[in-house]
Homo-oligomer: A and B are copies of this chain.
Amino acid sequence: MSIPGQFTLHTTDGQARRATLTTAHGEIQTPIFMPVGTQGTVKSLSPLDLEEMNAQIILGNTYHLYLRPGDELVARRGGLHRFANWKRPILTDSGGFQVFSLQSIRKLSEEGVEFRSYIDGSKHFFSPEKAIDIQKNLGSDIMMVLDECVGYGADREYTEKSLEMTTRWAERCRTHHPRGTNGQIMFGIVQGGFFKDLREKSLDQLRGIDFEGFAIGGLSVGESTKEMYDILHHITPLMPADKPRYLMGVGTPLDILEGVAAGVDMFDCVLPSRNARNGTLFTSQGKVNIKRAEFAEDDSPLDPECGCYTCRNFTKAYLRHLYMAKELLSYRLNTYHNLYFYLDMMKQVRASIENGSFAELKRRFEAAYATE
């Protein structure tokens, strides 16, 4: 019998890994991309849409759900799965990233972080324990520890002190929710900014805590692609091989493939859904900006190689019209396509690792996205 947190490595292709992670709501096949459902909904899509496109797991944002509708209200509804009618696994972040990135932070101390609500300006406090309590109320399958996400450009001294506090917070989270409790598993988060030795230090400290998986935080915060890939390739191979590795908040198709190449198993990012709403669409031929005038009379599908509802039923001319008219259906059809594209890419990634052709697949996407 498989238990939540069980991680089975099936095969590798270079550093790329093909594995299965068990959660309380079923298994997920990795490498995997997790669509972001910030407020208990992947914007514009229904749970049925997500099932159709074979989304195996979605992400919920602790910060947003805590503020609205409130984690206790969600708990009284039986948790986020029942509330949002989503039957597959859910990962929740700790709220840390939003607190730091939305610049709503008021006071940071060893105890935790005080911040203001982006909705009404009211004052709130997240301790590591509180962040876990909220995630327990939400009932996610995978919980993340509270961490400080250091911004790009932070100096070595600040970064080192911060990662050490993040380690102490991680310990408090694990103590507050011991392994094996309630089916909810917990991942630690490696910080350390853009200092390789500090990344190693963070990882070494976190290894001593009994987490079911490890994430890489603090990337995609303003650095160059080269800097990101540098850290990624340095730290990922050092992470425990027998546990899932999650690269948080990343990224473009090429970033994700680079992550897979470095040995990452899990990804999430708002990019495909947010870009969809801005009319930027990912296709097998590269990015398409649907608002461009050249598409006004283009009767071809967005991506001839794509089997999604959008590509099977509508032309670029119609998609452009919907976008220009700011129609609600535009957000929906575009989001459907972009997430389908990402999930289909991951399916190809998994197949390619299985048959040893991942490098070839990666080169194909790099050719399509060479102009980026």
Contact = CB atoms under 8 A, between A and B. Distances in A.
Interface of A: 39-41, 43-48, 68-69, 73, 76-77, 83-85, 296-297, 299, 309, 313-315, 317-318, 320-322, 324-325, 327-329, 331-333
Contacts of A314: 85
Nearest to A41: B329
A83 B315 CA distance: 8
Contacts of A329: 41, 43-46
A45 B327 CA distance: 10
A41 to B, nearest CB: 5
6 contacts: A46-B309, A48-B313, A68-B324, A77-B317, A83-B315, A328-B332
Contact of A40 (B73, B299, B318): B318
Contacts of A297: 73, 76-77
Given A309-B46, A329-B41, A68 B318 contact: no
Contacts of A85: 313-314, 318
Contact of A41 (B69, B73, B327): B327
B69 A333 contact: no
Contact of A84 (B41, B318, B324): B318
A45 B328 CA distance: 8
Contacts of A322: 39-41
Nearest to A320: B69
Given A318-B85, A333-B46, A328 B325 contact: no
A270 B47 CA distance: 27
Contacts of A39: 321-322, 325, 327
A317 B83 contact: yes
Nearest to A298: B77
